Chains A and B, each alone.
Chain A
Amino acid sequence: MPIKRSVLRARIENAGEVIGSLWPLRTFNAANPLAGFEDQPFDQAVDRARKLFGGRPYPRPATFRQAWENGEINPALLTRRLEAHGITDPPAALLGRMAADDPPGDTSPADEPLDRLMTKWLAAFLDQGQADWPMPNREEGFYAAWRSVAPYDHDGPPVDSPSDLPPTLLDAFENVLTAYPEGQWESIFVQHLAALPGWVGFIKWRAQQDDHPWQAAYPISLADYLAVRLTLAKRMDRAIAPDDAEELPANGTTRPRLPALWLRAWEESYRRRLLDDLSAAADASGADEDDERPAAQMVFCIDVRSEVLRRHLEATGPYQTFGYAGFFGVPMQHERYDGVRVKSCPPIVNPRHRIAERPAPDRETQAATYDGWRRWGEAGRSLVKTLKHNVAAAFGFVEGSGGVFGAALAARTLLPSALFRATDVADARVPGPDHFCAPTVDRVPEADAEGPLPVGLSPEAKVTYAEAAFRLMGWTDTFAPVVVFTGHGCQTPNNPYKASLDCGACAGNPGGPNARVLAAICNDPDVREALRERGIDIPDDTTFVAGQHNTTTDEVTLFVDPDEVEGASDTIRRLQADLETAQAETAAERVEHFRADRPDAPVDEVQRRAADWAETRPEWGLAGNAAFIVAPRRLTRDLNLNGRCFLHAYDWRTDADGTALENIMTGPMVVGEWINTQYYFSTVDNAAYGSGSKVTQNVEGKVGVVQGNGGDLMSGLPLQSLRTDDVHVQHRPLRLLTLIQAPMGRVDAILERQNTLAQLLDNEWMALAVMDPEQDNTILRYRPGGEWTPDAAESAAPASAAG
């Protein structure tokens, strides 16, 4: 029976939904590993995922114990929830019971030759430059390349020559699938895809990239993977279809499980406190409108790390801060000065423009100096590489260079702080592209041919992005003399997970380039004129400046020379000084969460962490994230949110039709959910959904990590990004609560239109509350199913199993 290609393709597409995409390390992105299950209720989804991937659904008993002993779980809330399900044992006893029920793991290593063969060839095929001699015939695609090596692979089933194997993908499927009805294909595919979720997730990601150079040169798809795997499975006499006995049991959980109840009690305890604080703040802030023009305004990424710095900066002087998505609304691909192109917008947004870094006209000598050094640096690196790998030269090279490596060992291990300062000095001597480049904000049509995206922005696009920024933030008047757009990035050497600490809204890159683009747009007189016509009146004396927040050291660099800004030089200098004060305060607050060497000198401590090659916890990234607040800053300004909240500026009064809110909810809020679920799952099961401990990680093919000797790629975050030690969590695995200050009807109408958002809420992947300013800032909670109830209702009525 011939197989229809189109049908096969659809079946594979459907089956592929169970695997979450896995981004390569360089552009590591936060994503829900169970994104394909979001159409199911959370409890059901985690259960099915446990059967497929062996992943734990809820936090470990030890994690609950930690929260319980820290007083993070409100006993009254917990007891009420438990009693509602007829459980009356004291919580301490329940903790013991959960620990006793916790299943022990397998102790004998599984050796499935099929999985091993697959991981061997996937690693060989998907390598992006680690091996000097890569797998042959990769340009023909994975199936064809494998077919060409299989006859020599004596680890696998005997194959005399490639012609023993089906010549094409379709033949390969036909060879296996004809024995099964079409209705069974998807379950067959699911079983084989779920066997290696790491590699499969990476293939899924790569196959969706239009202009990925490695995918273009060496194509691979889920179909390739399945064709190889099914062909091998058949020849090795392995099961093709899943056992009927192992069919997933009917849905509908019978009794609520203890961990599910504990999780909800913990979440509710946090949310209660937060909402109470916000209510109190709303009452207090009332008519407290500042009409005074601030000295400067700074826009930060919504990232939870911004909150701490913003709080400390505001305390230093007459400054106002805002939260906005860290890509500043510019869907761009960034071409670095070295020619590397990186996507610089969120995972759910496709880039529409290429913005290149080119030397500014007056900075060409700086560029030339830098180029000179860069060429020598490249020559040196390439020389080391070729000598290392050369069959005859490697030995002499090791002897000649060993002494230098010995010195470097000592310096990097014993003197990391000195190294930080040395880097600073070197950067000052030979300023990098940040100092001499400007982005191609205007259209450069003649450069379009170099890639799929137009270079630069049309005048219309500029106005759109500027207007979107101010509308979403509800910011239509009061512009200070200096307005800073502040991107963020981290600083950490020897860290494969660097991108996970950079800006998630910029696809795991620093956000400075996007900030520069928006600042340049807003300084454009034509743009200001167009904005004025649309009711956004920016005074002529306002200057927009770009900057970058180093989240590891909390230093903020402004990409501007104060002397070059007419009329605002003093303001900028003052701001720079205050930013330094804020850095010190922020660092002091943050070192409390580290096992600091030097808690007494917080700035030195964070700088050491930024330069230390042995440091596995340079900073906590987004650990702790638990809420997303969409409201004007004045609602939260007097609160210490402990770096756990995404903050998006929004003013319900300037957004009558809800357009801005709809964009916030479909954009940044969804990204927040992706980040939050990644942190949740990486924390609750660091093996199945995270990447395990850094100390035994091994970077594979420059794209991912494996644990130890190889095997399946690990996905998600490493242990050291989530836990303070092997047992205690830094990230509290709580699902995201979004609070929006806006009329409930407006929010409800948006949910009506955006049913994927409603689905996330109804299935409890996140929660939503509204502070309705038209109802005296009453807080209303969204209940799965679409009902809104006043916040207090929860404490009065016993909660349902689910909620």
Chain B
Amino acid sequence: MSDDTTYEPTEHTLHPLKKIEIIVRGEKEEFVRELLDDSGVSGYTIHRDLAGRGEHGFHEGRLLFNDRAGLVMFFAVAEEEVIQGIVDGLTPLFEKSSGVMFVSDTQVVRLDKFLGEEDEAGETA
């Protein structure tokens, strides 16, 4: 963004937020994506090739021919309330399917980037 270089020193205050990391099998990627899209987080990051899969050469990738068994990691930062909603949606899921989530405290500088608005959710993904 063009205004990235112009912020005032006062904006460097650190704001406490929550961070969630989710690891699931590839077949549940769609489910988690929809959950996050719907949760109100302003954006999230997906690491699909946890096992090193990809176009980077044969020996670096492990599962070339199975995208469902590979692991996918999601990473998102938001206010506690939003993260709680995500946790609520994942807890029942993990009764049936394998997967883990970690929630931790974190701090960010530009709070506005993480206060998702419904309409913008997903765009920053």
Residues of chain A touching chain B, judged by Cβ–Cβ distance below 8 Å, are 4-7, 9-11, 13-14, 17, 208, 325, 329, 346, 348-350, 352, 458, 460-461, 463-464, 467-468, 471, 534, 657, 659, 662-663, 666-668, 670, 754, 756
Contacts and interface: CB of A to CB of B under 8 A. Distances in A.
Contacts of A666: 63, 65-66, 69
Given A464-B58, A667-B65, 11 more contacts: A5-B38, A7-B88, A9-B31, A13-B31, A13-B96, A14-B96, A348-B68, A467-B58, A662-B63, A663-B63, A666-B66
Contacts of A325: 65
A9 B38 CA distance: 11
Closest 3 CB pairs of A and B: A667-B65, A6-B89, A10-B92
B96 A6 contact: no
Interface SS of chain A: helix
Nearest to A757: B69
B51 to A, nearest CB: 9
Which of B34, B55, B58, B90 counts the most A-chain CB atoms under 10 A from its CB? Answer: B58
A663 B90 contact: no
A659 B63 CA distance: 9
Contacts of A464: 55-58, 61
A723 to B, nearest CB: 32
A124 B95 CA distance: 35
B23 to A, nearest CB: 14
Contacts of B63: 662-663, 666-667
A526 B85 CA distance: 51
B92 A348 contact: no
Nearest to A345: B65
Interface of B: 28, 30-31, 34-35, 38-39, 55-59, 61-69, 85-86, 88-93, 95-97
Contacts of B65: 325, 329, 346, 348-349, 663, 666-668
A348 B93 contact: no
A471 B59 CA distance: 10
B41 to A, nearest CB: 12
Contacts of B88: 4, 6-7
A350 B85 CA distance: 29
B88 to A, nearest CB: 5
A10 B30 contact: no
Which of A6, A464, A659 counts the most B-chain CB atoms under 10 A from its CB? Answer: A6
Contacts of A668: 65
Contacts of A17: 96-97
A659 B59 contact: yes
A11 B92 contact: yes
Contacts of A14: 92-93, 95-97
Given A464-B61, A666-B63, A666-B65, A10 B89 contact: yes
Contacts of B30: 208
A248 to B, nearest CB: 16
B66 A348 contact: yes
Nearest to A36: B96
A348 B53 CA distance: 14
B39 A6 contact: yes
B34 A9 contact: yes
A7 B91 CA distance: 8
A14 B66 CA distance: 22
13 contacts: A5-B89, A6-B86, A10-B92, A14-B96, A14-B97, A349-B67, A464-B55, A468-B64, A659-B58, A659-B62, A663-B62, A663-B64, A754-B69
Contacts of A329: 64-65
A463 B69 contact: no
A458 B66 CA distance: 21
B35 A9 contact: yes
A9 B93 CA distance: 9
Which of B61, B67, B86, B90 counts the most A-chain CB atoms under 10 A from its CB? Answer: B67
A7 B89 contact: yes
Contact of B57 (A458, A467, A670): A467
A350 B67 CA distance: 6
B49 to A, nearest CB: 11
Contacts of A467: 57-58
A460 B58 CA distance: 10
Which of A4, A461, A657, A667 counts the most B-chain CB atoms under 10 A from its CB? Answer: A667
Contacts of B66: 348-349, 666-667, 670
Given A6-B39, A208-B30, A667-B63, A13 B55 contact: no
Nearest to B28: A13
Which of A4, A13, A352, A534 counts the most B-chain CB atoms under 10 A from its CB? Answer: A13
Which of A4, A325, A348, A467 counts the most B-chain CB atoms under 10 A from its CB? Answer: A348
A4 to B, nearest CB: 6
A563 B117 CA distance: 65
A144 B10 CA distance: 49
B64 A667 contact: yes
Contact of A460 (B56, B68, B86, B93): B56
Contacts of A4: 85, 88-89
A10 B93 contact: yes
A371 B25 CA distance: 45
A17 B85 CA distance: 23
Contact of B58 (A6, A9, A471, A756): A471
A668 B30 CA distance: 23
B90 to A, nearest CB: 7
Contacts of A471: 58
A464 B62 CA distance: 12
B92 A7 contact: yes
B99 to A, nearest CB: 11
A126 B97 CA distance: 29
A198 to B, nearest CB: 21
Contacts of B56: 460, 464
Nearest to A659: B59
A468 B65 CA distance: 10
Nearest to A657: B59
Contacts of A10: 31, 35, 89-93
Nearest to B31: A13
